[in-house]
A and B are shown apart, each in its own frame.
Chain A
């Protein structure tokens, strides 16, 4: 008996109401507000959309655009005391959700509508077995007996592609990897055969190869089981791969909504146009400067009657002082822009700066940083009886970075890329290998030489929220190294220099008075960059420096980094997991997997003609923001997950997942060889 049949049976049993022709979910003029200490925040204003049975709808937007709040409003999971829905109507399957009492709503949640959250690490209860957590909704909502629920749980785990389900039911969440946990979450979401699944950033926390697996699984399940999906995401590539229809939200309102093809290929709102242009893309030739949407989203506590996007819109005219309604455009989409007809007529296009922004190595043969056979192992403490093992986080890594060059370092989580950065910064001591900075071997350097090196090597961290000391003002944060290293003398001098540095990163000098929590994410990242620049470095490690930022802000920061690089002749080690971003910014790219370098080559070679199977798989898994390409693409999915560091594979580390694996691969550790001039790969098959 196939799973799909069972599901149909189940649904037929549950669903006694007549099937209406009306859409499954009909959200009409939804308004959601939060009362906060600083007044009423209108998080969602006048959002209307419908979802048909079996349809996949994506809600895209930056943080604070109201996309998650829309989902929570549908589930009625808003904070009881502060959140309320003053206006609007949500019809689900013929019932008005806003008019149900709590008990009726509780029966709908998890049974007819289920929700999948972003963070698979924290959305499962760590002290209950997986089995218990899957069986719970079955027993509560469907009144199954324990053995029925057990049978259904096994079926569900098989459905989401977890092998050996009987055994895994008795395991705890920590025994599952991140991708496996997200599969379990999906299994729980599917448990009662819901009609609608709302997935809030379901793959954001996952690696790109795992993301591809999960996306494929969800798409497949929604088709097979005829479940409508609402996906909330900021990743345009994910939207293109998935969605039938797209809703682009900006500042609590719908900016544009329509079929995915229309919105992606013929956007009719300046914000969606800008959003699509501001992401570095794998499917287009690498241009010069990224085109960005300048400025910041508005504060939702301020009431406004103008177009919400007008302050950032390059095409704003007088009429934009009035809030535009949702116009129906020529492509069949709805756009909240007065000038949508001019956009359709091609009269308005984003201007392209083009040209600039190339960052190839200056003509020099002396590398600024040279890493040779770098190895780092961490000791793990075992239990009482087990002996502790060692985890080899980084093994035999060698590369050079030349002055003024950007070297991209890509890989999935746990591949050791961050450890490489920390070793170079001397935040960790290497177990073996050498790091030469400007000709000085750091492991034999004198304290004075090390101190001089500290000035020259700086870092920009991923998380703009935790990388600034919350107790210090921006001025103190940037000014501290100036004091300590006596780079400039005297209070006034320091203040002048801080103002100068702030201007360099595109902030106003008055910002020096502020504390980090008073700044937005992008502004904080700029402060982090200014702090690094204060030391007048020649080399900066950018550890996922733009990963935590919103798409439009990310473009601004990438442009800033490139501009600073040209201005000050900086060399960057750009560590990231986003292949498109790395391609945009780097001259050469190093691909790491499981602590080892897989491939090193010039950017265009890596993205155009990679040799190593892992690089191919990685590039293949990354979604691009173009629905036509995504639909044509044959999913060549990588199987399995990262091996355990406690039981590393013998031979080639990629042999456990490689599509071209042979017996030889499991025996020989492939050396990193120059296969073509300047193109290194560690694979015996090429």
Chain B
């Protein structure tokens, strides 16, 4: 017998008592009077991100320059962003580690924890992690209250996981407290994140 059948048989034989699937609609999760304001609060405090709102007369290049004036190498595949590296056309993902700033599109934000849902919409997702700093564009109309609403939204969408089979919630810059509990930004991935509310 294969290990697969071995394991499945053992699991079926060893179960003592079975339990029904619980009804999760009974959970009454937090909702906010103003989800956008709560998202902003969480993003700039616990998540440790910067937040800027786009002015009507600004274009995306202006915004990136406003967020990171010293950046030399920009990576992006978004229309309207002047970039030296494009995650769709680089030969190897490793090239994206040279990016000072990666500019990516977030789909929606979560008020309770400042997560932003980033479905992979570029060939090399390395841009989301290997760039020194990250700019995430986010439509301020797209804020949900909590993770229950967030996963309902991911579930309902027909677009996610189609071309590229990856998606991630990102809440601020990469963090670690592995050395004597001292909180440090920029462990492995982005050292700083700026969320641009459009």
Specify whether A and B are partners. Answer: no
B residues near A (Cβ < 8 Å) are: none
